[in-house]
Structure 1
Amino acid sequence: MPGYHKSSERVSQFTDQQYRVTQHDETEPPFANAYWDNKAPGIYVDIVSGEPLFASVDKYDSGTGWPSLTKPLVADHVVERPDSNHGTIRVEVRSARGDSHLGHLFSDGPRDRGGLRYRINSASLRFIPATELAHEGYGQYSSLFSVSEEDAAEASGRSAA
């Protein structure tokens, strides 16, 4: 497993919004972000460290305008902390190795899937399509998705053997 860590070089390449969200705990606007309506199969990783955080199989439409997921892909990669910055007590969600602000955790998610809603900022994520998982070094998560070898080879520009 690769060593996930905060990369100052990577952080220096962020857009203003990515920097403000991940490093200064800001929230991006609803319905105006990259992944709120993404329905493609794949995983979401921390843009700071590369830690695998969430899978599209756990994503659902909460109607809030941000990506909403029912659970982390790897529990140890997500840290939950109390947050009282806006006059209410909430649970902040951060990446463990990158220490990126990801979003917040709420208890109004789908009851049949555990009742949790991880409301995550797209600006803190990089999406890796299921067909690219092996090529990007996340092949251990391929079994979560129904991706044929031909689809994976075509997506990565290689021909199937």
Structure 2
Amino acid sequence: MKRILISTLFLGILAGCASSPSMDANKDAGTAASANSNSSQSNSIPAHADPKNALAQKRSVYFALDEYALQDDGKDIVQSHAAYLSKNPAQKITIEGNADEQGSREYNLALGQKRAHAVRTAMTVLGVKEAQIETISWGEERPVATGHTEEAWSKNRRADIKYGGEK
């Protein structure tokens, strides 16, 4: 419990202390997100479901072995989804935490939950409402890669972002 509290606090501090892009970069990012949202709306496909949109392409946040702290590439994914969710408050997501096959079933379920919670916490720090997010842990039960190699295991140490009832 103490470790979770410290990790959550540390994540909040990192989010607050992270160097922020210039105002022009923020404006450009907002314009791009708006353009993506508008172009998807004109096709009646939401941005998160449009295969051409980055929100649909990057849905998994990967973690190091036995870790649940967000890595830099994961932070970028979380930020883009958080920006979209903040602009679409009716949209709901489920964050599914996963683990590789190493460790006991109970350990992997707990680790998957911590990973899902880490993504949820980062999103709420970025302005997403808690009511928009549900978390679940699958532990080692839903691997995307089979095999007993580091390559396969690294693909299974993840949290997946699923929109509005997706399976």
TM-score by length of 2: 0.27
Could you say which structure has the higher helix fraction? 2
Return the TM-score normalized by structure 1. Answer: 0.28
Larger RCO, structures 1/2 (Cα 8 Å, 6+ apart): 2
